Amino acid sequence: MASENLLNGGQSFHGEKSESNLLSSHSENHESSRPSAQTRPMREDRRGYIAPALSRDSGVSSIEHHQVPDSNEMWSSCGPDDSTEETVDTSTFSEEELLDITFEACNTTGTGEVLASTIMQYLQTMTSQSPEQDRLNALNRMLDPECRDPAISRATFQSTMREWIAQCNQDGMHEDDKHISGENPCKVPINGMDFSGPEIKTAFSEGEQCYWMSKQNNSLLRTVSQGEDTNLQLTVEITELSAKLASAQRSAGRTRSLVEELEEARRALREAKERASRAQASSCKLSKECDCLKAHIQLLEEKEELEETLVMLAVRDRELTKKDILMDKLKNSHLENHRIIEKVALIVFSLSLKGLQSELMHLSEHSQQALLRFDRHCSSPQGFQGRSGGVPNHRSLHAEIQDIQQVTKALVLQLVINSPIVLL
């Protein structure tokens, strides 16, 4: 009943709905649309209006107010079947799951923390209430007591929301007790009309039938919704598979082109190998020819060196021949000169011997004359008297003659030694 006052701005209506049912009602639509949230941001609800789909990028609901009726009109226009339907729809979620869904809807960044202003904006959008409402204001004070817009973690959000829901339920129970105690217990106002006890029983029996019928209807609607979701999922999967098939076909085309390119590359490689083998064979042939040419060049060089050597030897031979001829000429001229010198020497020697002989003869004659004079002198009486004094003179003359003869012999020997005949 606290949720009734919360959703209707403090007004009460028949049928109890807790704050957790409010969150679960929204989270059911959110969970059913989560598999295809990227492909269909909105889907048509079974009441005929467009249900809100949460945008994870903005952090708030993408609801459009002209598509969703006012909460008072919606709840006042629907009967017990609709309220029962909402109750049945949300009975499959626990309170913790609903709080987790709400927190995930606000946690667009994925950091695990949500600003208090983001949570309040989300709840204001989902309940169509202004922030001046008492209960939302109380929740805002509980989340942001110091008005600093702090970051709320998941655990803090869950504990604060549980505390706020319990407080709202407690306040709703107090208001219901005050409302019932102040009116006639025999008459119960329903939708602005007073009903007595039998009418209430009839209404409850009809409501029970409507409840079971609405339950079956809700089951069928859930089946249809699940079928639609499954259909959408299958459509998305078919689209994805079509995209994958197109990608696979493109990959196959690229593969075929790559295979063709590979075959061309292989052919080019074979041709290149053949060209390389031919080039290698020609290279071997050229290398052999080069070796042959090198050997031939070496032979030619050796032949040229041999020819040069022969030419040099011939030149040297001619030079040696010329030298031999010159030596022969020199030798002949030397012999000729030697013969001429011998002749001259003989002539000179003969002339010198003749001169010496004539001189010796002259000396011998002179000495003989001197001896004769000495003998004549000695034979006279004066000479005899002076014999004792004349003997030394006679000896000195004889010694002088001997000396002259020795000098003559020495000169002859010297002439013989210096003669060209002896040298040759």
Residue ranges per domain, the chain? 2-182
pTM score, whole prediction: 0.27
pLDDT at 165: 86
pLDDT of residue 139 exceeding 50:
yes
Residue 215 or residue 250, greater confidence = 250
CA distance 378 to 376: 5
Tens digits of residue pLDDT in 334-381: 888 888 888 887 787 777 777 777 777 777 777 777 777 777 776 665
CA distance 277 to 245: 46
pLDDT at 278: 92
What average pLDDT does range 151-155 have in this prediction? 88
pLDDT of residue 5 exceeding 80:
no
What are the CA-CA distances from residue 261 to residues 246, 268, 276 (Å)? Answer: 22, 10, 22
DSSP assignment of 259-278 equals HHHHHHHHHHHHHHHHHHHH
What band does 212 get if pLDDT is binned at 50, 70 and 90? Answer: confident
Name the nearest CA neighbour of 34 among 292, 236, 239. Answer: 236
Tens digits of residue pLDDT in 53-94: 333 333 333 333 333 333 333 333 333 344 333 343 444 567
What band does 419 get if pLDDT is binned at 50, 70 and 90? Answer: low
Long-range contacts formed by 352-358: CB under 8 A, 24+ apart: 352/411, 352/415, 353/412, 356/408, 356/411, 356/412
What band does 268 get if pLDDT is binned at 50, 70 and 90? Answer: very high
pLDDT of residue 2 exceeding 50:
no
pLDDT at 395: 55
Tens digits of residue pLDDT in 162-206: 888 888 888 777 665 555 555 444 444 444 444 444 554 554 456
Q: Which of 209-223, 314-328, 342-356 has the highest mean pLDDT?
A: 314-328
pLDDT at 301: 92
pLDDT of residue 20 exceeding 60:
no
Q: Which residues of 185-224 are buried (b: 16+ CB within 10 A; e: fewer)?
A: eeebeeeeeebeeeeeeebeeebeebbeebeebbeebbee
Residue given tokens 């339907």 in the structure block? 85
What average pLDDT does range 209-236 have in this prediction? 83
Tens digits of residue pLDDT in 93-138: 677 888 888 888 888 888 888 888 888 888 888 776 665 567 788 8
Q: Coil, helix or strand for 43?
A: strand
pLDDT at 370: 75
What average pLDDT does range 292-296 have in this prediction? 93
